[in-house]
Structure 1
Amino acid sequence: MIFVDADACPVKNEVTSIASERNEKVLFVASHNHRPGLIPEDEQWTFVDPVAEASDMYILNHIKSGDILITQDIGLASLALQKGAFVLSPNGKIYREDQMDMALQFRYWARKERERGNFGKGPKAFGNADRHHFLSSLRKILSKYDDLD
């Protein structure tokens, strides 16, 4: 199963396309506030309350070892990795458990800096190179996923 933290995910179409090619099930999880206008019949969506972390909690309560998660949320990624899931970001970064301590530390430092009023430039705009890297990474994970069957 592929879980997508869908509130702000820029690669929903790519996930649907690859999953369809490979006959994989996908579940998009989003808050009611991020409900898309028209949901295609071939997509499965679950909507949760529009409170902080509701999507994350739903995903963590349903994901299991061997599942795939697509998220931009480092905290959610860290917890899903501990459950044995494969995790990647929409820009194609494949998360590994041995990287999580440092990633969480950087997130903490960045939050502290923002609290002090120091705002960086923010992330670069999502582009075609990110989209292609994502597609490559998802295919790589799915090939490993096939080996588990």
Structure 2
Amino acid sequence: MILIDADACPVKAEIIDIAIRYDVQAIFVAGSYLRLPEHPLVRLFVAGDGFDAADDAIAEVAQPGTVTVTADILLAERVLKAGGAALDPRGQEFTETSIGDTVATRDLMAELRPGMMGQSGGQSSGPAPYSQRDRALFKVGLDRVLNRLKRPTGA
């Protein structure tokens, strides 16, 4: 099963294509209604607009064998603790080894950001625009994770 933190996910179409190819359920979890293609493997779960409602819904069902697509580092950490796999929309897999450093970097940047904005007088430019290369890298990353999960244990 693929769980998608769907509200700001830029790779919805790629996830649907891969889910159909692998014959895997794709559940898009969002705060409100999203228009998705009708297909038996594609579902929408509207978690509501409460703070972290979508994250909480995903974390509740994440388990070994599930893959979560999210840019939210703290959600990725929760998914990993539940035994699931987590991947960002650029194809980078969060791992038990990397998540601690990733969370620490996120926290450090959150602390530095207000001071940096005061010094520069403006806002940061944010992440780079999402490109076709990013889409391709995501597809490779999701393929890699799904192939690893479908292998028999011990193989």
Same fold (TM over 0.5): yes
Distance 2:15 2:116 in 1: 37
Shift of residue 120, structure 1, vs aligned partner: 3.2
Distance 1:148 1:30 in 2: 32
Shift of residue 86, structure 1, vs aligned partner: 1.1
Partner SS, residue 29 of structure 2: strand
Partner SS, residue 151 of structure 2: helix
Distance 1:111 1:148 in 2: 41
Range with bigger deviation, 46-55 or 1-10: 46-55
Distance 1:16 1:76 in 2: 21
Residue 27 of structure 2 aligns with which residue?
Answer: 27
Unaligned segments of structure 2, at least 5 residues: 118-122
Residue 93 of structure 1 aligns with which residue?
Answer: 92
Q: Counterparts in 2 of 1:60-99, with a 5 A limit?
A: 60-99=59-98
Q: Which among 109, 129, 134 is matched to residue 130 of structure 1?
A: 134
Partner SS, residue 83 of structure 2: coil
Partner SS, residue 134 of structure 1: helix
Residue 40 of structure 1 aligns with which residue?
Answer: 37
Residue 155 of structure 2 is aligned to residue 147 of structure 1: no
Residue 124 of structure 2 aligns with which residue?
Answer: 120
Q: Alignment length, in residue pairs?
A: 146
- Deviation digits for residues 69-99 of structure 1, max 9, x if unmatched? 0000000001101111111101111111111
Distance 1:120 1:102 in 2: 22
Distance 1:63 1:106 in 2: 24
Residue 4 of structure 2 aligns with which residue?
Answer: 4
Q: Please identify the structure whose Cα radius of gyration is greater.
A: 2
Distance 1:121 1:39 in 2: 30
Range with bigger deviation, 99-108 or 110-119: 110-119
Shift of residue 148, structure 1, vs aligned partner: 3.5
Shift of residue 113, structure 1, vs aligned partner: 1.8
- Deviation digits for residues 5-44 of structure 1, max 9, x if unmatched? 0010000111001110111011000002xx22x3322120
Shift of residue 117, structure 1, vs aligned partner: 5.0
- The amino acid of 1:139's aligned partner reads D
- The amino acid of 2:37's aligned partner reads P
Identity %: 29
Distance 1:11 1:26 in 2: 12
